[in-house]
Structure 1
Amino acid sequence: MQISGNTIFIPGSTSGIGLALAVELHAEGNTVIVGGRRADLLERIAAEHPGIDTVQIDTTDPGSIASAAKEVLARHPDLNVLVTMAGVMHIEDWRRPESFLASAESVITTNLLGPIRLIAAFVEHLQEQPDATIVTVSSGLAFAPLKVTPSYNASKAAIHMLSESIRLQLAETTVKIVELEPPSVRTSLLPGQEDSEFAMPLEDFVAEVVVLLRTQPDAKEIQVERVKFLRYGEARGDYDQVVETLNALDPHGR
């Protein structure tokens, strides 16, 4: 993926990594469209960041995805990058079904079905562009599990394998698949994570991602240094130690 000259839609980006990345990509010379559920947040983003477009979308709702896709493509027919950013993370106790079932269904709907539906809404259009990219967002937890978030871990592992698979299917098209693999980052994904000493500062994460996009335009996976501890535990042969370390940090894995 080239760092500039793109038209990029980032649904699920009214806060956290998504918004920070949208702002930086806009500063790099891209047309950026931010998507989110709350109209008030979208209005504030448009006011605070002139030039960034906004579209209302609920990535858990197939009808909303279809409607937003039509709106985005009508306003930006040169769209060539989709970033499937939306995601949720919940702490679950799988010893008690009342603790995890509704949570698991919500996580899978947002983190897995959402990206699948978004790709389905845009993939034909993207194949018509001379150079296009789908950016999926997995996690370091796709490769080493945090004990208290089973459904999140599973959803991100699925995103990793989905990315690997559709990259093979789209190999003969103009569409590249790039997987962004964040470590724990200081956002509101879990309560208290914004103040976690273990989590990577948001501005540092996004700055490193932008450098990687600039210097590695053909990369299949975007990995900041911090995530490699989780990503390559099995390859290094220290997977069990990685899992033990991750889950010993504190009860939330931070």
Structure 2
Amino acid sequence: MKQSDNTILITGGGSGIGEALAHRLHDAGNTVIVAGRRRDALDAAIAGRENMHAMTLDIDSVEAIETFAADLIAAHPALNVVINNAGVMRYEDLSTRRDLTDAEATITTNLLGPIRLTNALVDHLKAQDDAAIVNVTSGLAFVPLVIAATYSATKAAIHSYTLSLRDALAGSVEVIELAPPAVQTDLTPGQRERAAYQPLDDFADEVMALFGQTPTPKEVLVERVKPLRNAEAEGRFDATLEQLTAMVKGAQH
């Protein structure tokens, strides 16, 4: 992925990983558009930054995505990079019958959202030089977190979708997967303060160094996520699943 002079869209860019990467990519000399539901958070993310823009987006709505894509291309015709980062994570108990509202909303945001937005923008991106799509998955795509089963499943699905998308767009759009470990953000209650999780700035700095490699890795993996990414290949899957479950239970108390 080219390092500067891109026009980059980042969904979920008003907070957390999205905001941290948006600022670093902007500092590197790119025009950056952050998108999300909360205008106040978006405005705070772009405050005082020339060539950084905010657009509201309801990633759960088919109609909103189509309107957003048309407005985005009209306002920023040089758009050549899309980072599908928006996501939600909800804890759930699979051991008993429950209300599936949160699970279904997670699927809509985390899986259908990126697929729909990519579909709306893919023809435009194919016509651009140095085009790239970055799909943000998770270490939980490779070893699930039992208490966030639907979240983990959506990230595994986006990992698979990214493999297919990379092959389908070979030669026209670079397709990259970014799989974070547990990072200190507000994705779940109390997560920002959990000492076992990677500090956000450390994570973002490590990601930017990986983005700067030539060629850019197909999978952008910071060191902390590699034990999850490689667990199955290294014969550690069952032990890693057990350790992950225990770690998160401990962090919640």
- Shorter-normalised TM range: over 0.9
Question: Aligned-pair RMSD on alpha carbons?
Answer: 1.4
Matched, 1:192 2:190: yes
Deviations 1:13-37 (A, max 9, x none): 1100001100000000111000011
> How far apart are the structure 2 equivalents of 1:237 and 1:68?
44
- What is the rounded CA distance, in whole Å, between the counterparts of 2:238 and 2:157 in structure 1? 21
Gaps of 5+ in 1: none
The Cα of 1:57 is off from its aligned counterpart by: 0.6
Amino acid at match of 1:222: V
State how 1:88-127 maps to structure 2 within 5 Å: 88-99=88-99, 101-127=100-126
- Residue deviations 1:85-135 (CA, integer Å, cap 9, x gap): 100000001123324x11110100000000001101100000001220010
Instruction: State the match for 2:75 in structure 1.
Output: 75
Distance 2:189 2:119 in 1: 32
- One-letter code aligned to 2:60: T
* Secondary structure of 2:33's aligned partner: strand
Q: In the alignment, what sits opposite 2:181? A: 183
Query: Offset at 1:46?
Result: 3.0
Aligned length: 252
Runs of 4+ in structure 1 displaced over 3 angstroms?
none
Contact 1:246 / 1:253 at 8 angstroms: preserved in 2? no
Counterpart of 1:98 in structure 2: which amino acid?
R
Measured after TM superposition, the shift of residue 252 of structure 1 is 6.8
TM-score of the superposition, structure 2-length normalised?
0.96
Q: Which amino acid aligns with 1:105?
A: E
> Corresponding residue for 1:128?
127
Structure 1 149/216 Cα, relative in aligned 2: closer, same or farther at 3 Å?
farther
Return the letter of the residue paired with 1:249.
Answer: M
Structure 2: gaps of 5 or more residues: none
Report the TM-score when normalising by structure 1: 0.95
Asked if 1:211 corresponds to 2:206, the answer is no
- Give the Å deviation of 1:138: 0.6
Structure 1 counterpart of 2:232? 234
Out of 177, 199, 202, the position equivalent to 1:201 is: 199
Deviations 1:140-191 (A, max 9, x none): 00000111000001000000000001111111x4101100000000001111
Percent identity, aligned pairs only, is 48
1:151/1:157 CA distance change after superposition, 3 Å? same
| Partner SS for 2:79 | coil
